Amino acid sequence: MKRTKVVDALQCTEYGTAINVKGWVRSHRNSKAVDFIALNDGSTINNIQVVVDPETIDAETLKSITTGACISVIGTLVQSQGAGQTVEVQSKEIEIYGLCPSDYPMQKKGQSFEYMRKYAHLRLRTNTFGAVFRIRHNMAIAIHQYFHEHGFHYFHTPIITASDAEGAGEMFQVTTLDLERTGKGPVPYEKDFFGKKTSLTVSGQLEGELGATALGAIYTFGPTFRAENSNTPRHLAEFWMIEPEVAFLDKEELMDLEEDFIKYCVQWALDNCKDDLAFLNKMIDKTLIETLESVVKERFVRLTYAEGIDILEAAVKQGHRFEFPITGWGMDFSSEHERYLVEEHFKRPVIMTDYPSEIKAFYMKKNPDGKTMQGTDVLFPRIGEIIGGSVREEDYGKLVHEIEARGMEKESYNWYLDTRKYGSCPHAGFGLGFERLILFVTGMQNIRDVIPFPRTPKTAEF
Ligand code: ATP
Ligand code: MG
Ligand code: MG
Ligand code: MG
């Protein structure tokens, strides 16, 4: 018999028809006359209730169907009397695919996230992680949909690269293993990537600029690697980044794009992930849906770095204590500072612009004052920096000057400089951390809990 997904079975109103549902047991309880099995197949957060008449199944077999077991049920779809569900399946026949022994690590409800991180391979089967990863899927679709609708081309930049886009030296080197034959047998040794020094990409931006200066508007969406030994709830060593890059875009238009894009994604979640959001709103953050709705409605605050510093200095004068001191012009904001601005001062997202050039990357276009640059970072409640963006320096001479002033090797950027040498155009773009967006949309607290298999200095089990 053809299987019906739980998500479809729950919508079905053809009562009395035969149905086959398959999935993993979420719970099994017995009352006097019947047993109730809550079944979930990952297609929705909601379980379908299977009602089992003990007369229809051998008692030992029925008892063996515990939380986590995988079964197939053939039965009749009936209207449910139970609260919170419309249909249930009256079982006629149960086939067991896989029993689940009592040492199943996800058996107990309400385990801590820290505990569950040890079982990244099994936590996927819990309600919370099911909700998070269905939302993650939906966000990926929203991103492609947004850019497709707005005439951007999906552009693939290399994972193995010789350029350090951020100039921060946080790169994983790529090596190949070779074997040296010795008297004691073959000994493995590391070699460069076919004689060249290469690394895993920290950002697809520089290559993305090549795309934008040919195709007009592109976006990348791929894995990104940073060898930063930071054990914060906002950093991963392997994360996914979305990087649109657009020709002929100025700073104001860039900010409009950043704001419009995030709002589109959040609205997409509100429209397409209703059940999962309702679950997370109940279990993780009681203000989640309200927060998402207000982000879509409100205009983001736009302020300069200098104004940001003024606000933080005023806060200190009024007695606010920051862990990292406010040292004035030239300081980089820590996430604590960013969160003060968005959560306590403005109480909504902020786009911060015109940072001092020296704290930002070499490719950002300077303002005429020679001190500040046309950066546009988006700061979000609960997250801090969610987007880092800027107008790019399009002047060949100025860019070469900046590369040399920072002691970078000009020769290794010649391919990049060619975009400025031949038919240079004004352009701008940004990078958004996919997991930070998912953190915001799901209400989860730790970035390790919004990617299926987190890679951090302390979590990379397999
Ligand atoms: P942060 O200040 O939080 O370390 P950044 O300024 O180093 O971020 P950018 O180089 O501007 O980051 O990268 C663009 C975006 O990528 C960031 O705004 C953030 O959303 C995301 N991002 C950066 N580093 C990480 C990381 N290690 N893990 C997850 N997301 C990241
Ligand atoms: Mg960083
Ligand atoms: Mg930053
Ligand atoms: Mg940044």
Q: What's the domain range around 168?
A: 122-449
Residue linked to tokens 């801590």: 112
Reported ipTM exceeds the 0.85 cut? yes
Give me ligand 2 centre to Cα 330, in Å: 17
Q: Which residue CA neighbors atom 25 of ligand 1 most closely?
A: 235
User: How distant is the alpha carbon of residue 266 from its chain centre?
Assistant: 13
Number of H helices, E strands in the chain: 14, 17
Task: Please identify, by atom number, the ligand 1 atom nearest to the C-alpha of residue 230.
Answer: 27
Nearest to 386 by CA among 394, 395, 377: 377
Could you count the other beta carbons within 10 Å of the beta carbon of residue 238?
17
Q: Which residue CA neighbors atom 29 of ligand 1 most closely?
A: 235
- Which of 83, 98, 113 delimits the end of a domain? 98
Same domain, yes or no: 393 and 317? yes
Q: Is 283 exposed, middle or buried (CB count within 10 Å of its CB: 0-12, 13-18, 19+)?
A: middle
CATH classification at residue 23:
2.40.50.140
Give me ligand 1 centre to Cα 299, in Å: 23
Give me ligand 2 centre to Cα 385, in Å: 9
3-class DSSP assignment, residue 3? coil
Ligand nearest to the CA of 258: 1
Q: Provide the number of structural domains found in the chain.
A: 2
Q: List CB contacts of 253: < 8 A, sequence separation 6 or more.
A: 246, 428
Same domain, yes or no: 225 and 344? yes
Give me ligand 2 centre to Cα 166, in Å: 9
Same domain, yes or no: 299 and 171? yes
Pairing of strands 48-52, 87-98: parallel
Same domain, yes or no: 219 and 300? yes
- Which of 49, 66, 98 delimits the end of a domain? 98
Same domain, yes or no: 16 and 77? yes
What residues form DSSP beta bridges with 48?
A: 39
Give me ligand 2 centre to Cα 386, in Å: 11
- Which of 98, 113, 148 delimits the end of a domain? 98
Q: Which residue CA neighbors atom 28 of ligand 1 most closely?
A: 235
* 113 domain residue, yes or no: no
- Tens of pLDDT, residue by residue, the chain (462 residues): 999 999 999 999 999 999 999 999 999 999 889 999 999 999 999 999 999 999 999 999 999 999 999 999 999 999 988 777 789 999 999 999 999 999 999 988 889 999 999 999 999 999 999 999 999 999 999 999 999 999 999 999 999 998 776 666 689 999 888 888 888 888 878 788 777 888 999 999 999 999 999 999 999 999 999 998 778 999 999 999 999 999 999 999 999 999 999 999 999 999 999 999 999 999 999 999 999 999 999 999 999 999 999 999 999 999 999 999 999 999 999 989 999 999 999 999 999 999 999 998 999 999 999 999 999 999 999 999 999 999 999 999 999 999 999 999 899 899 999 999 999 999 999 999 999 999 999 999 999 999 999 998 876 555
Task: Please identify, by atom number, the ligand 1 atom nearest to the C-alpha of residue 166.
Answer: 10
Same domain, yes or no: 255 and 340? yes
User: What predicted TM-score, i.e. pTM, was given to this entire model?
Assistant: 0.95
CA dist 447 → 34, 213, 282, 451 (Å) = 42, 33, 20, 7
Same domain, yes or no: 318 and 212? yes
Ligand nearest to the CA of 433: 1
Same domain, yes or no: 352 and 270? yes
Same domain, yes or no: 134 and 24? no
Same domain, yes or no: 68 and 166? no
Q: Are 94 and 70 spatial neighbours (Cβ–Cβ below 8 Å)?
A: no
Same domain, yes or no: 77 and 166? no
* 115 domain residue, yes or no: no
Q: Are 243 and 203 spatial neighbours (Cβ–Cβ below 8 Å)?
A: yes
